[in-house]
């Protein structure tokens, strides 16, 4: 598998993967997140324009998509809990989804992000069982609750390596 930035020509595949993600969420009992066509194509087009949308390729096929940024996430400024290392540079992962036939692609994408900056913050809906399972598997620590701009609550997680590569 390889990771590269998303291009506008990738949009049909990317939007199909997000549709599959919505179905997986609904099947796993998460009826509140990513409904009504979220994330919208206009959001993904913006992510592409700012260079923060990525795709995972396997055998020349797009198998996963995600947003990755090292710009501070505004909704992470206030947390009911505590980040492991407040004030430090971190990466943020949003809108991660994989194709139905791409087992392991989500973990690959998250590990790729961690290889770019070994301090990753992520949030997810409390009912997003697949993402919660992935975060646990990859060693992310629950840090508290954050609120999206619209007021929706999300569970916050972080994974950090110190200068010696030891996970905290």
User: Considering only CA atoms, which of 157, 146, 27, 135 is closest in space to residue 75?
Assistant: 146
- Within-domain flag for 86: yes
Contact in structure between 131 and 124 (CB atoms under 8 Å)? yes
- For 40-51, how does the pLDDT look when each residue is reduced to its tens digit (9 = 90+)? 999 999 999 999
Q: Give the count of domains, the chain.
A: 1
165 occurs within a structural domain: no
DSSP 3-state assignment of 126? coil
Q: Please give the DSSP secondary-structure letter assigned to residue 152.
A: -
pLDDT at residue 107 in the model: 96
The answer to the question of residue 39 being in a domain is yes
pLDDT of residue 137: 96
In-domain check, residue 166: no
Give the global pTM.
0.90
What the block records as the tokens of 94 is 């949003």
Task: Give the torsion sign (CA, 94, 102, 48, 117).
Answer: positive
pLDDT at 16: 95
* Local mean pLDDT, 10-residue blocks, the chain (168 residues): 97 94 76 74 96 96 96 96 94 94 92 97 92 95 96 95 61
| Structural domain boundaries enclosing 11 | 2-160
Handedness of CA 92, 111, 131, 14 (dihedral sign): positive
Distance separating alpha carbons of residues 107 and 31, to the nearest angstrom: 23
Rounded to whole angstroms, the Cα distance separating 133 from 130 reads 5
CATH number, residue 149: 3.40.630.30
97: left (phi over 0), alpha (psi -120 to 50) or beta: beta
Q: Is residue 80 part of a domain?
A: yes
Contact 64, 99 (CB under 8 A): yes
Whether 20 maps to a domain, the answer reads: yes
């Amino acid at each position: 598998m390889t990771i590269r930035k998303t291009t506008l020509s990738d949009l049909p595949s990317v939007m199909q993967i997000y549709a599959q993600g919505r179905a997986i969420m609904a099947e796993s009992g998460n009826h509140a997140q990513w409904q009504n066509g979220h994330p919208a194509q206009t959001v993904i087009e913006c992510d592409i324009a700012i260079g923060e949308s990525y795709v995972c390729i396997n055998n020349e096929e797009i198998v996963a998509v995600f947003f990755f940024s090292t710009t501070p996430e505004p909704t992470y400024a206030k947390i009911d809990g505590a980040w492991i290392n407040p004030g430090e540079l971190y990466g943020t992962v949003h809108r991660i989804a994989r194709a139905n036939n791409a087992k392991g692609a989500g973990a690959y994408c998250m590990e790729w992000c961690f290889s770019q900056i070994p301090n990753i913050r992520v949030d997810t809906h409390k009912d997003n069982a697949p993402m919660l399972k992935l975060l646990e598997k990859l060693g992310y620590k629950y840090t508290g609750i954050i609120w999206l701009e619209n007021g929706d609550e999300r569970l916050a997680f972080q994974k950090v390596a110190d200068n010696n590569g030891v996970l905290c």
